[in-house]
Amino acid sequence: MTTYTDPPKESFRLSMLLYDTRYRSMTIQIVALMGFMLLAAWLISNTIQNLAALGKPIEFGFFTEAAGYDINQHIIEYGNQDTHLRASFVGLLNTLIVAVLGCVTATIVGVIIGVLRLSKNWLVARIMTVYVEMFRNVPLLLWILLAMAILIESLPQPSAFRGEDPAATMKLFESVAITNRGLYIPEPLFSRSLGDVHLLGQSSFRMDVSLDFLALVLVLVLSIFATRKVTARAERIQNATGLRPTTWYINLGLIVIPSTILLIALGFHLGYPELKGFNFQGGTHLRNSLTALWLALSLYTAAFVAEIVRGGILAISHGQTEAASALGIRPQRIMRLVVLPQALRVIIPPLISQYLNLTKNSSLAIAVGYMDITGTLGGITMNQTGRELECVLLLMLVYLVISLIISAVMNWYNNRVKLVER
Amino acid sequence: MKKSVILGALTVAGLSAGAAAAATLDDVKDRGKLNCGVTTGLVGFAAPDANGEWQGFDVGVCRAVAAAVLGDPSAVEFVPTTGKTRFTALASGEIDMLARNTTWTLSRDVDLKNEFVGINYYDGQGFMVPKALGVSSAKELSGATVCIQTGTTTELNLADFFRANDMEYEPVPIETNAEGQQQYLAGACDTYTTDASGLAATRATFENPGDHVILPEIISKEPLGPLVRHGDQPWGDIVRWTLNALIAAEEFGITSANVEDMASNGTDKPEVNRILGVEGTLGEMLGLEADWAVKAIAAGGNYGELFEKHIGEKTPVGLARGLNAQWKDGGLMYSPPFR
């Protein structure tokens, strides 16, 4: 008979935190974390104390005061008696406008350049290489300034359109004026308008949304939905009989006819710009600051997008292309149907960071006097109220939120197109 | 107050004010240089000349303070600031004083925690237009495109002026005077608005200054003066009384040519003797040497000399003394007594 003795009961001693390898790493991590938190707390309390000593405690009350300054480009109603909060909101919308326009253009230009860089045509491929190297190796700020300088110096002033024998004339059947203050294009007007819907009451975020616009979008969405039904039906017939009915004229009709009827019902017409007083009045005014920023941001980012697209295409094994041509598919279709869809999986993750870069780079807007959120909240508001810390923190938060939203949307898209393995 | 080194992003946000608030005089003496914030370039007021030396009316104030404190008018580090960066630069301690066509307003004095030490130029906001535009009054500017420097009081005055007169305008915001000049000359804006002195200085650099007119309306009061940050009264006193010494020097006929002579031989005017440190202990009260004002005046001359040399009627800027004449001559320049 054997007697078992329990293994000696291990009692926990404090020194084991340091000398026992099972606990040591944990101890080190906790100490490091505490140290880091102490440092952060010290920085924050120091900041608050110093600001209080300076007589500028952190507070955000200034946001409800009247801004007092005007902003030239505002897509929502804004006047200099509105609050700083609303001025910041106008700036935010301007940032979003240039970011969205820039991302879309950069993607289109970038994909075209990236594909053409791989062209078998020696000249085309070399020109694209020159484009890429030229744009990505010169600082963005210089491109923005160059674009603005070209627009300002080379285009005619509004006064050149005046007189018996004007030095400049309006283009496209007298409907478009290209001046060094911006592009004036016809604006859509509705004589039997449905009016606007006012959102968010009297708050600083209030905005008017045109019901005409909403109706048009609704009709278009319905039309597209109908065309998808028609296409699905054509697929079914093709699968059953091998013959695909022609659908393009039905689809075209489905999209064009309902929206045309709606436009006529609303009394759609164009408002043309006209030279009145110092400037052109009426029409939509696309300011040079926006154009310059948009162009420079898109062309600059497009150079990077092109490299990403090229990398993505080269990552697809050449066997895929060969297999596709062995099946008798034409080269353009191989690119569109076989290579690009697979390349997207490689392209999208780095593309996300290019979108984020473009959005953050749009904060260079002040160089050409484009009033984005950095120009309003981080510029004039900060300057007039003297609330540097509050404004900069908020500005950082705004950019953080915009970037996170872009990342979230793009990651969702990435998950949709990524390789699904069974 | 906690003395501290604030790191990283917080410094960027312009927060090291706590560390820099006390004893600017000692900091300046230790450094051996005065950090003075000026414009990024406005001919006559502050702009580098062909040799890269900063010259101008505001620069003269910086040099006078450097001479008074350090005894050397060239011991100045000029820090170019824009309308937007100037107050942050001052609050963060990057510069010791700001001499940059800055308008004294209540909110800047009280809310932005600055200390205006005096006024060295009484100005007002005006408009410049090309003669070809055929405009003779600012009231005719409805619908015009206006170039305007952001982060300035002129931006707010402009909004007020057009609102009060029920007129429309399109602002074109710009960052520096040079950009404003480029846009204005290219015709990207109909009119350029800033302080009338700034307009005159800008016009002086044009190829054909005669093709441009400054409209008669002055739409605001713009008392321009040097400033320091709140919280260091002794330093503020030094800058204030250096400026006053320049103004008083003109009143009493002390010039850069005769100041040494007057200081060594003394004069029969007690106040002049007190300014020059021949009598009394005014320098000691300020924490400076007895001959502080002598050095300040010798640096670039008295107020009147600075004015004539940099922006007066004989210079390309061509500004008349007007409101900036001595009080004896019907102007507003008036120094409190040195006693």
In chain B, the domains with their CATH numbers are 8-122+224-329 (3.40.190.10), 125-220 (3.40.190.10)
Q: Work out the pLDDT band at B15, boundaries 50, 70, 90.
A: very low
Q: Is B131 on the interface with A (CB under 8 A)?
A: no
Higher per-residue confidence, B150 vs A130: A130
Q: What backbone torsions phi and psi does residue B32 show, to the nearest 5 degrees?
A: 75, 10
Is residue A404 over pLDDT 60?
yes
Q: What is the pLDDT of residue A2?
A: 64
Biggest distance spanned by C-alpha atoms of chain A: 125
Phi first, then psi: what are they for B149, rounded to 5°? -75, 130
Q: Do residue A379 and residue B7 have CB atoms under 8 angstroms apart?
A: no
Q: What's the pTM value of the predicted model, to 2 decimals?
A: 0.79
Pick the CATH number of A64-186+272-417 from 3.30.420.10, 3.30.930.10, 3.40.50.720, 1.10.3720.10: 1.10.3720.10
pLDDT, one tens digit per residue, over A108-137 is: 999 999 999 998 899 999 999 999 999 999
Q: What is the mean pLDDT of residues B226-250?
A: 94
Tens of pLDDT, residue by residue over A335-373, are 888 888 889 888 999 999 999 999 999 999 988 989 999
| pLDDT higher than 70, residue A53 | yes
Percent of chain A scoring above 70 in pLDDT: 98
Mean pLDDT across B75-95:
90
Residue of A nearest to B149 (CA): A369
pLDDT at A5 over 80: no
- Residues of B in Cβ contact (< 8 Å) with A43: 6-7, 10
Cβ separation B143–A278 shorter than 8 A:
yes
Averaged pLDDT for residues B108-133: 91
pLDDT one-digit tens code per residue, B258-307: 999 999 988 889 999 999 999 889 999 999 999 999 999 999 999 999 99
pLDDT above 60 for B7: no
| pLDDT tier, A92 (very low <50, low <70, confident <90, very high otherwise) | very high
With contacts defined as CB-CB under 8 Å, which chain A residues touch B112? 386
Q: Which of A206-210, A222-226, B98-102 has the lowest mean pLDDT?
A: A206-210
As a whole number, mean pLDDT of residues B300-317 equals: 92
Q: Which residues in chain A touch residue B183, judged by CB atoms under 8 angstroms apart? A: 152
If pLDDT is split at 50, 70 and 90, which confidence band does B4 have? Answer: very low
Strand locations in B65-208 (E): 76-80, 97-98, 114-116, 121-123, 125-130, 144-149, 169-174, 191-195
Q: Please give the residue of chain B at the shortest CA–CA distance from A290.
A: B172
Average pLDDT over residues B54-73: 94
Whole-number pLDDT of residue A232: 92
- pLDDT attached to residue B22: 59
What average pLDDT does the segment A2-7 reach?
A: 69
Local confidence band at B198 (pLDDT 50, 70, 90 cut-offs): confident
Q: Residue B172: its chain A contacts at CB < 8 A?
A: 72, 181, 289, 369
Please compute the mean of the pLDDT values over residues A369-388 and round it to a whole number. Answer: 89
At B16 the pLDDT is: 41
Dihedrals φ, ψ of A71, to 5°? -125, 125
Name the percent of chain B lying above pLDDT 90. 63
